[in-house]
Amino acid sequence: MVVLYEGQSFSALRRRCQQNGSLFEDPLFPASDQSLFYQRNQIGHVTWKRPKELSSDPHLFVNGLSAHDLHQGRLGNCWFVAACSSLASIEALWHKVIPDWKDQEWNKEKPESYAGIFHFRFWRFGEWVDMVIDDRLPTLNGELIYCHSNDRNEFWSALVEKAYAKMCGCYEGLDGGNTADALVDFTGGVSEPMDLTENGYKEDEEKQSELFERVLKVHDRGGLISCSIRATTAADMEAKLACGLVKGHAYAVTDVRRVRLGHGLLAFFKSDKLNMIRMRNPWGEKEWNGAWSDSSEEWKKVSKSEREKMGVTVQDDGEFWMKFDDFIANFTDLILCRLINTSYLSFHKTWEEAVMWGSWRRHDDPLLNRAGGCSNNKHTFLQNPQYVFDVKKSEDEVLICLQQKDRRATLKEGRGENLAIGFDIHRVELNRTYRMHAIQQKVGGSIYINSRSVFLRIDLTEGRYAIIPTTFNPDLEGDFLLRIFTDVPSDCKELILDEPPQTCWSGLCGYPSLVTQVHVLQADGLAAQDSDGVSDPYVIIYCEGEKVRSLVHKNTCSPVFNTKGLFYRKKANRPICIEIYNHNVLKDSFMGQVTLPAEQGKIQKTLHLKGKGDRRDNDLPGTITLAIESSSVLTSI
């Protein structure tokens, strides 16, 4: 679904201008200093000109769209230009950002169709937003001040930049930003920032090889990639290194591939290949001058046809190739923006996506407060919004992205600083449907940072998990978007209720007076049930008509169930029953059971499995280790 920004319809506005014979002037983003700066003019006298005043033959595109079309102007927005360069290399993506581009192009045969209006689309907070602009562009001494193309007749980059500036409040809103955010805005994907100085990437060749496979996969599947060399001081910003690279500067990755070495048939049959990566400097100049740079002798090892296929040029156009291990050695930060494929018709991996919108809101009542801050705030942490999702495989790779509503556009009102946000993941009971009021087993979490989004890729075993998105400090308010990607549907939902609701039947049927957690850890030495001497066991916990069942554990007589169940009990004196079965194709076979006494408090014990009383196998071998927790009366929540 596409949403119109402030209700501005491109087709209706253009039609009105064409009928009136006038050129569009955008009242929401006027040709004045307020569209350029937050407070004061820092450039001088700016003249706004339309492309027809700057060129006798203006076009959106000249000879197609290319990463070479972009040159950073007088803004510190290399992050945005780098993202545009990545976008330009993938046609299917820029068609989304620049919709109906042929219809928007200048038409010499129909000059009356020109109305000085364009529109572009960006993905913001879970939806595509259609952004209308007029084509008046800021100039100084007859030259474009900001982003511009190699060709003076080409204007797509300047117009896309203006639309993005409008969305961010003004052009100054683009001065210093996050490439990861821009990549998400262009794609609707999820960005994973990676620190190449951590996890041994610079020392471990095996990890470098694994990372190259990941980068190659993201590139081949249409994702966008950016990289940079971290500047640790203000003096380091945009400092040129001896190798030709620039610190504190965002580079667009425009190609990733394995390159054949050799010539002719030798190159075809020879197995020698190099892992290579191509980047572009948004300045359009200043390149890497080491091995495999444009004029390097190493290119003689590659056939002419291979060089042509790779687009190798010997000119200072800002684009250059590097060996991947040289890339790892020099760059410190990498951003992978994955396009999450949710189509069942695709040949590539299909993800299941869960999307949840939520808010952090202050309230004096602890049960209604939803702005508790991070886990450092022990008394308020669990007052934050809580969401549960299920991992239904024995192990699954899970992608989680938390995004806050961008505040840059509100800087003029003094509300423009992003909050420091993050999230924790806790393993909870398989049947949990009410909010947590006690900390459980933490299995992962993101960093806390004042960026627009945080991301985590984590491998989780089968079970139910709770995500708690928070601000770092308590009592801060804001809106957020939580996205969870799994291999199979995760059934994600928000935990809203604190306890089972009172109904008109509560007086007759009773209301839960005790909440009991049963945690079945593992079983040791189960009797083999299959012909190969193993079993496929699973466990079921029964309590007052409710049950929780674990995943089937394949080929084992000593399963680690790690299964939790939570029961709201009306009859605290009734025992809890735990049964173990072996999974078979036709009928599952009973392996044994344990009956727990109605105890309160915390106990952990090892019990022997027993068969059911009416079974002949009354004393099956094996033990089960249990951890049982019983809490106090619910009214104390």
In terms of Cα–Cα distance, which of 587, 590, 539 is closest to 565? 539
Catalytic, out of 71, 119, 148, 249: 249
* 183 phi-psi bin (left φ>0, alpha ψ -120 to 50, beta other): alpha
Element (H, E) at 132: strand 127-134
d(CA 275, CA 214): 12
d(CA 274, CA 257): 8
CA–chain centroid gap for 163, Å, is 24
Catalytic, out of 77, 178, 275, 281: 281
For the four alpha carbons of 591, 597, 602 and 607, in that order, the dihedral sign comes to negative
Instruction: Kindly tell me the burial class for residue 344, based on how many C-beta atoms sit within 10 Å of its own C-beta (0-12, 13-18, 19 or more).
Output: exposed
| Helix, strand counts (H, E) of the chain | 12, 27
Residue 157 CB partners (closer than 8 Å, separation 6+): 69, 70, 71, 81, 84, 147, 148, 149
Instruction: Kindly tell me the burial class for residue 45, based on how many C-beta atoms sit within 10 Å of its own C-beta (0-12, 13-18, 19 or more).
Output: exposed
R_g of the chain, CA atoms, integer Å? 30
Residue 142 CB partners (closer than 8 Å, separation 6+): 47, 54
Strands 127-134 and 2-4: parallel
Q: Give the angle subtended at the CA of 384 by the CAs of 195 and 382, to the nearest 5°.
A: 100
For residues 255 and 245, the answer to whether their CB atoms sit within 8 Å is no
The owner of tokens 């937003």 is 129
Q: Would you call 465 helix, strand, or coil by DSSP?
A: strand
Catalytic, out of 68, 71, 77, 78: 78
For the question of residue 374 being annotated catalytic, the response is: no
d(CA 263, CA 302): 6
d(CA 410, CA 418): 10
- What does the buried/exposed string (b/e) look like for 398-431 if buried means 16 or more CB atoms within 10 Å of the residue's CB? bbbbbbbbbbbbebeeeebebbbbbbbbbbbbbb
Phi–psi pair at 23, nearest 5 degrees: -100, 140
Neighbours of 590 (CB within 10 A): 15
Q: Tokens for 346, please give them.
A: 């695709």
Instruction: Kindly tell me the burial class for residue 288, based on how many C-beta atoms sit within 10 Å of its own C-beta (0-12, 13-18, 19 or more).
Output: buried
For the question of residue 249 being annotated catalytic, the response is: yes
d(CA 164, CA 124): 11
Instruction: Kindly tell me the burial class for residue 53, based on how many C-beta atoms sit within 10 Å of its own C-beta (0-12, 13-18, 19 or more).
Output: middle
* 297 phi-psi bin (left φ>0, alpha ψ -120 to 50, beta other): alpha
Residues with a known catalytic role:
78, 249, 281
